[in-house]
Structure 1
Amino acid sequence: MAPELGRLTAREIYDRVLVDARSELNRTASALAFSGVAAGLFMGLTGLGVAGALAALPGPGGEFIAKLFYPLGFIAVVIGRAQLFTENTLFPVVLILEERRHLMATLRLWAVVFVANVIGALLFAVLATVTGALKPEVLTELMELGTTAVEQPLLRVFSSGVLGGFLIALMSWLVTSAQRTIGQIAVIWLITFPVGLLGFAHCIASSGYILGAVLSGATSVGAYVVWLLVATSGNIIGGVFLVSLFNYGQVRGGSQLNRRRARRLAENESVFRRRSEQLSRSPKQGGEAEATAHFVCECSNAQCTSEIMMTIERYRHLRSHPRWFAVVSGHQFPEIEPVVEDHHDYLIVERKGKRGELTLRPRPAQTAS
């Protein structure tokens, strides 16, 4: 159904993620650093938007409305393609799982982007607190956001960081599937709004206003460093394990199903060859139209042990199409495997999608003359 509706399949999203990951790993350290500083600076818009709204809308309901502006920094960073730790930096994890390499390049990417993001957040804090650009009431709200965040119990910082990392990585994954900029903005806003509303820790989004609180003397550098380490650990776990690994497993699991199906086709091919050879040696037993053999069900269930009785002629017909498979009735996936022929005892289904044809499918042997 996905191609007809214009939606990308899970595999197509996965392939886009791999392309983005390779692109990021190939960027120079200087390019990553400049992009990372810009991202850290842009993320200051999250705190700035919330603080400005809180100052303008005091009283009941003001906090909820203020949190509507929390996604501003994420929108600026993602649409502007800047490097944000927990966003683009988690994609290379999928590439590591896919190719079993790039570990050192990924660690380099993480280190450069993380440090650059913090520097960018510090730059925002300087602009917000030292230059006097903000109204006193807005600055007060911004500092309050910083002190509130850093005073949370560390266990809550870590657990909320896991959820925050999960949502931001999920946002990145979904943005990859969005076809238009307006769709990307909608995805970013919908996923990051709960991060701000529920006060989940994000190592960079919160750094801007926490560092502002440090510069104003409302909290200490040591308290910020401890908070940063705990929040970052939670973000990494949430992004890597709850998004990257699960989506990798989803797509690679499909590849595993194809390998299982390929093995079943190989078994049936062996049966076909043996039966064809028997027919060629004993023509009196009848032609292909009557000759039958037991073939294994070609479904993707690794536990399936069902067999299908089929004539050699029908088997040859089955193998005439690279996307056709013979399965016992009930073993098909209707969403992706519509039935093209119903032979009562078994069905012939067609695997849809760009990867429906198995590249490892064995070619049927010709009956010896």
Structure 2
Amino acid sequence: MIWKKNKTPEQLEEEKQREIDREINKSSKKKNDGAKTHGEILRDQITEALETYDKNSSSILLSSFAAGLEISFSFLLLCTFYFFLEGRSDETEIFKTISLVYPIGFILVVLGQSILFTEQTALLTLPVLNKKRSIGSMLKLWGLVITGNLLGGYFMSFVLTWLGPRLEIFDHEVVEAIAMHVLHGTVPVIFVSAIIAGWLMGLLSWLLASSRDTISRIVIIFLITTVLSFAGLHHSIIGSIEVFSGFLVSDQIHLSDYLTFQSTALLGNAFGGAIFVALLKYRAFIFNIGN
């Protein structure tokens, strides 16, 4: 006891970290055919995140660019269904109905294992909390992922706003209506909405780690992302495509509107994923370990 009391704060911290790592690693030795334990999910999440940290920057940028392209299929379906329902239902009913096709892009991204910022936010925070990576390395990785996601989205915005009217599957008025719907609300409202959206996307990543088969994963993605759309919560990547596309075709939407929305939604999503999921889930596990 005397020896323990004479330890420096740094030594006590290192000892505590070794104990945390031992508890997390115990999960890898358990044989459990049922639901995964908290420790198993945490171990899997940290392992997956570390694999992402160890990837080449070009690989991360390309994968995140692919995610920006793939999630755009949600926008394509939103516009197409809106155009199909226009005149048959009022606008409120249309926006509630098209939320059912909103998950398609997310399913393509997640099952295709491309890197989407909002799904990775909480995941990439866990190694920092576990002292395996630094905050600087996390922010650098976030920057790469966001850049790739946005570039992919910009490219598809140009393609879809050109293609839609020519295929006669939607027109520019539909694109404008969707963008204006996303922009509805003050900056504080969008920020809090984005926090909740980031929270849900972080939970999505956590729940996916707890599932063991593809059908369960599809159901989880569908449920979480349908809630996002039905409730009108703000997602920074699909929202970027919606608002940027509106900026391309509408005189009512200016670059300043897009930049204000995008910065607000990104900050909210990051805060919601990192704080409400990564920190809370991690601390909940740590509090179970004796001091």
TM-score range, shorter chain: 0.7 to 0.9
Q: Which residue of 2 aligns with 1:29?
A: 57
Alignment partner of 1:114 out of 146, 160, 165: 146
Task: Structure 1 unaligned segments of length 5 or more: list them.
Answer: 261-369
Q: CA deviation at 1:233?
A: 1.0
Match for residue 89 of structure 2?
59
User: What CA deviation, in whole Å up to 9, does each residue of 1:20-53 have, x standing for no partner?
Assistant: 1101101111111111111111111222222222
Q: Which of 187, 196, 217 is matched with 2:250 structurally?
A: 217
Amino acid at match of 2:130: E
State which of 122, 125, 140 in structure 2 corresponds to 1:90.
Answer: 122
1:181 aligns with 2:214: yes
**Alignment check: 8 A CA contact 1:158 1:234 kept:** yes
Q: Distance in 2 between matches of 1:137 and 1:205?
A: 18
- Rounded to whole Å, the distance in 1 between the matches of 2:98 and 2:225 is 14
One-letter amino acid of the structure 2 residue matched with residue 82 of structure 1? S
User: Once the two structures are superposed, what CA deviation does each residue of 1:302-330 show, in whole Å capped at 9, x if it has no partner?
Assistant: xxxxxxxxxxxxxxxxxxxxxxxxxxxxx
Q: Deviations over 1:208-230 (max 9, x none)?
A: 12111111134111210111111
> What is the rounded CA distance, in whole Å, between the counterparts of 2:52 and 2:84 in structure 1?
40
Query: Could you give the per-residue CA deviations for residues 195-219 of structure 1, whole angstroms, max 9, x where no partner exists?
Result: 0011111110111121111111341
Counterpart Cα distance in 1 of 2:149 and 2:73: 14
Are 1:167 and 2:197 an aligned pair?
no
Tell me if structure 2 keeps the 8 A contact 1:128–1:139: no
Cα deviation 1:152-196 (Å, max 9, x = unaligned): 211111010011101111111101111011111100011110100
Equivalent residue of 2:287, what SS? helix
Q: Distance in 2 between matches of 1:185 and 1:133?
A: 32
Match of 2:233 among 200, 203, 224: 200
Distance in 1 of aligned mates of 2:101 and 2:169: 20
Aligned residue pairs total 256
1:97 Cα offset (Å)? 0.7
**CA shift at 1:137, angstroms?**
3.4
Contact 1:161 1:232 in 2 (8 A): yes
TM-score, length-scaled by structure 1: 0.66
| 1:101 counterpart SS class | coil
Q: CA deviation at 1:134?
A: 4.5
The answer to whether the 8 A contact 2:208-2:220 is kept is yes
Identity of aligned residues (%): 26
User: Is the 8 Å Cα contact of residues 89 and 109 (structure 1) preserved in structure 2?
Assistant: no
Given that 1:127 and 1:133 are in contact with CA atoms closer than 8 Å, whether structure 2 keeps it comes out as no
Q: Which amino acid aligns with 1:21?
A: A
Matched to 1:153, the amino acid is T
Alignment TM-score, normalising by the size of structure 2: 0.83
Which of 172, 176, 180 is the matching residue for 1:143? 176
CA change 1:3–1:134 in 2 (3 A) is farther
- For the 8 Å contact 2:121–2:270, the answer to whether it is kept is no
The alpha-carbon deviation at position 4 of structure 1 amounts to 6.0
Matched AA of 2:240:
S
Structure of higher CA gyration radius: 1
Q: 1:20 aligns with which of 48, 57, 61?
A: 48
2:76 is aligned with 1:48: yes
Q: Retained in 1: the 8 A contact 2:83–2:169?
A: no
Tell me what 1:291 maps to. Answer: none
- Cα distance in 2 for partners of 1:176, 1:138 equals 39
Q: Which residue of 2 aligns with 1:6?
A: 34
2:262 corresponding residue in structure 1: 228
Distance 2:138 2:166 in 1: 38
Q: Report the residue type matching 1:170 in the other structure.
A: L
Q: The residue matched to 2:175 in structure 1 has which SS?
A: helix
For 1:220, the aligned partner's letter is: H
Query: 2:72, 2:156 within 8 Å by CA — same for their partners in 1?
Result: yes
Cα deviation 1:94-138 (Å, max 9, x = unaligned): 111112633222111101110111111101101111345542635
Q: Distance in 1 between matches of 2:279 and 2:113?
A: 23
The one-letter amino acid paired with 2:153 is A
Aligned counterpart, 1:69: 101
Between the aligned partners of 2:214 and 2:238, the Cα distance in structure 1 is 22
- In 2 relative to 1, CA 138–172 (structure 1 residues): closer, same or farther, beyond 3 Å? farther
Q: What SS does the aligned partner of 1:116 have?
A: helix
